[in-house]
């Protein structure tokens, strides 16, 4: 032991704010700790007591004590040489609401009576990735904290470790404990300037200097008798989080960077190409390959699922199989839609039923649906029930929307509200479901997952309204399908319904209804005539206003999430990119 440490230990013996009571001391004396149950006498008040376990140099303990004179703070650590710094600092500053205990955390119940502590802080603890029973938020430690913490007392974890954060998050979910705060990137969140949370210790500054985000989670600990450990695999941190010294610098190139949306989209394309189907009969499987890979698509739904997953756990892999399953289902719906709509082109390529025939297209689509469920079923067991339930709801919603769409073609009267509900089901629920499934796979809370779903609904409605506009005013080469298909098929789109509303009682209304009732007509003549009516009534502008309204609703839903400001901005940028489609 160095002379410096010996000197510090000597100082600690004389510090009036330090109590050294290790297991060795206890075993030698056999005496109970004298301040147990008597801390109010020591501090001279009945103010709440806040513990920092594993306090290190005591920086967080001292800083909190300076901020909140109406609370008493006690730092606990076994390393006396480190604690010396905080103890000396508190004495020099004349802080009377600070004390330190040098002991092991496993002995903490020897120092406090039940209910004597109101709040516990765990600041940058060793995540103990390979030793579950050593993690300071494990079930064993929670039972220990119950012995001293007031019922429903607050637990706080501030950590650089994605592993520790995810483990704690999964543990409280497994025990049906609700997080009070759950922040994946503290300094990019609304709490970035919170006086307590923004206290930066020596080690925290090290992590920030290496580009590592700081996570925070808090919850209330009740008096339940039993806890269960989370049954989930958690990826280890990619750096030496337990060393806590200069050697913990991440090796160049080893730090895990979040994937951009573009990178995620390419990742989806690569994995779609790896999905295995049988090779025979060729007439069943070749159309699937054609639909998935040659006709292709923007892969928005799986990319949104993976992006949402990454927002909540820092990785896309937990949602990968579900994301590919969502894209498989989406392409199945497109294949069958093309048959029902008698569409001859999609994304500038001949549709499956035109290249082969309708019967083949139906069978190939059914096979894709089965494959989608197979992929969804590969979700991790803990998330599978929720993901499968949501996927089923999504599938049924899309089918209901398609039926409404077909019904509207032969109905004389359709309201705008009915139309918005139809596109909510047919289009928006799949986008929203993709975001929510990704969030669930990433370990999001129910509140966050639900809010993200509502965000997806608003974006999905705006997207479909944009699609309606492009079907009339888009460029065939850019849009990827023939313009005017909705007009030719007598689709009761928002533009058509709004035109009827604006033209009510005029010759324009009569002309519009007449065009939509004609059994025989020249395709281009009908498209030109109806488009001219739309132009005169300025329905394109009115549709844009409805798009804006739905988008604003989406933004309000996003604000309800616990995502950081930066993460919310990323989602809004993706939504903007989606809605600013080339025409």
Of 22, 117, 574, nearest in space to 300 by CA = 574
Residues belonging to the chain: 583
Predicted confidence (pLDDT) per residue in 544-582, tens digit = 999 999 999 999 999 998 888 888 898 999 898 887 654
CA distances from 279 to 284, 287, 356, 460 (A): 9, 11, 17, 36
**Which residues on adjacent β-strands are paired with residue 520?**
none
DSSP for 507-521 reads: HHHHHHHHHHH-SS-
* Residue of 452, 545, 537 lying closest to 503 (CA atoms): 537
Give 519-550 as a DSSP string. SS--HHHHHHHHHHHHHHHTHHHHHHHHHHHH
Per-residue model confidence as pLDDT tens digits over 410-465: 888 899 999 999 999 999 999 999 999 999 998 888 888 999 999 999 999 999 99
Are residues 467 and 340 in contact, defined by beta-carbon separation less than 8 angstroms?
Answer: no
Beta pairing class for 49-53 and 72-77: parallel
Predicted confidence at residue 130, as pLDDT, reads: 85
Angle CA(205)–CA(208)–CA(209) in degrees, nearest 5? 85
Taking a C-beta distance cutoff of 8 angstroms, is the pair 416, 494 a contact? yes
Active site residue 486: no
Measured CA to CA, the distance from residue 539 to residue 447 in angstroms comes to 37
CA–CA separation, 207 vs 32, rounded Å? 39
Which pTM does this prediction carry?
0.59
Select which of 11, 13, 70, 126 is catalytic: 126
Cα gap 265→292, rounded to integer Å: 14
Asked whether 370 and 277 are in contact (CB, 8 A), the reply is no
Beta-strand pair 98-102/18-20: parallel
Full pLDDT tens readout for the chain, 583 residues: 444 555 666 677 788 999 987 766 665 666 678 899 999 999 999 999 999 999 989 999 999 999 999 999 999 998 887 889 899 999 999 999 999 999 989 989 989 999 999 999 999 999 988 888 899 999 999 999 999 999 999 999 999 999 999 999 999 999 999 999 999 999 988 998 999 999 988 778 777 777 789 999 999 999 998 999 998 888 888 765 434 333 333 343 344 577 888 899 888 888 887 777 777 888 888 888 777 776 767 888 999 999 999 988 888 999 999 999 999 999 888 888 888 877 787 766 788 888 888 888 899 889 989 999 999 999 988 889 999 999 999 999 999 999 998 888 888 889 999 999 999 999 999 999 999 999 999 888 888 899 999 999 999 999 999 989 998 987 755 555 567 888 988 888 999 999 999 999 999 999 999 999 888 899 999 999 999 999 999 999 999 999 999 999 999 999 998 888 888 898 999 898 887 654 3
Alpha-carbon span 389 to 396, nearest angstrom: 11
Q: Which 8-state DSSP code applies to residue 148?
A: T
């Amino acid at each position: 032991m160095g002379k410096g440490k010996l000197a510090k230990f000597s100082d600690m013996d004389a510090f009036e704010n330090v109590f050294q009571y290790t297991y060795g001391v206890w075993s030698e004396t056999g005496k109970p700790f004298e301040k147990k149950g008597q801390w109010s006498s020591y501090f001279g008040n009945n103010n709440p007591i806040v513990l920092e376990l594993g306090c290190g140099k005591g920086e967080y303990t001292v800083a909190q004590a300076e901020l909140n004179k109406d609370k008493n703070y006690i730092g606990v650590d076994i390393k006396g040489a480190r604690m010396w710094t905080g103890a000396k600092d508190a004495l020099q500053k004349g802080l009377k609401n600070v004390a330190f205990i040098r002991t092991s955390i496993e002995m903490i119940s020897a120092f406090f009576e039940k209910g004597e502590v109101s709040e516990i802080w765990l600041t940058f603890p060793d995540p103990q990735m390979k030793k579950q029973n050593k993690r300071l938020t494990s079930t064993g430690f929670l039972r220990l904290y119950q012995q001293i913490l007031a019922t429903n007392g607050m637990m706080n974890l501030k950590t650089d470790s994605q592993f520790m954060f995810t483990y704690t998050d999964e543990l409280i979910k497994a025990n049906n404990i609700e997080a009070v705060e759950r922040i994946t990137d503290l300094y990019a969140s609304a709490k970035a300037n919170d006086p307590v949370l923004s206290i930066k210790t020596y080690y925290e500054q090290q992590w920030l200097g290496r580009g590592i985000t700081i996570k925070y989670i808090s919850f209330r600990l009740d008096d339940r008798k039993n806890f269960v450990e989370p049954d989930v695999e958690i990826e280890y941190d990619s750096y030496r989080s337990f060393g806590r010294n200069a050697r913990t610098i991440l090796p160049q190139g080893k730090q895990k960077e979040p994937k951009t949306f573009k990178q995620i989209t390419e990742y989806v394309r690569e994995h779609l190409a790896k999905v295995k189907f049988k090779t025979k009969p060729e007439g069943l499987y070749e159309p699937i390959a054609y639909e998935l890979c040659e006709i292709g698509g923007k892969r928005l739904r799986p990319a949104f699922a993976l992006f949402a997953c990454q927002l909540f756990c820092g990785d896309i892999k937990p949602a990968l199989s579900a994301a590919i399953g969502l894209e498989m289902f989406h392409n199945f719906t497109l294949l069958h839609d093309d048959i029902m709509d008698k569409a001859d082109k999609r994304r500038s390529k001949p549709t499956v039923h035109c290249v082969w025939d309708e019967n083949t297209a139906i069978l190939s689509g059914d096979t894709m649906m089965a494959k989608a469920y197979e992929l969804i079923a590969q979700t991790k067991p803990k998330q599978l029930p929720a993901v499968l339930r949501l996927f089923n709801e999504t599938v049924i919603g899309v089918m209901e929307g398609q039926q409404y769409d077909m019904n509207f073609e032969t109905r004389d009267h359709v309201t705008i509200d009915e139309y918005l509900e139809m596109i909510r089901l047919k289009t928006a629920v799949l986008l929203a479901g993709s975001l929510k499934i990704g969030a669930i796979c990433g370990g999001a809370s129910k509140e966050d997952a639900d809010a993200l779903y509502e965000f997806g609904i608003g974006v999905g409605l705006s997207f479909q309204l944009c699609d309606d506009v492009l079907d009339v005013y888009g460029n065939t080469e850019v849009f990827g399908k023939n313009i005017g298909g909705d007009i030719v098929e007598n689709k009761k789109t928002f533009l058509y319904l709004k035109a009827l509303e604006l033209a009510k009682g005029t010759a324009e209304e009569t002309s519009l209804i007449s065009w939509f009732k004609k059994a025989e007509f020249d395709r281009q003549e009908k498209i030109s005539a109806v488009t001219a009516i739309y132009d005169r009534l300025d329905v394109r502008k009115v549709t844009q206003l409805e798009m804006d309204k739905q988008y604003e609703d989406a933004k309000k839903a996003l604000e309800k999430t616990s995502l950081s400001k930066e993460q919310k901005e990323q989602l809004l940028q993706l939504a903007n990119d989606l809605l600013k489609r080339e025409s």
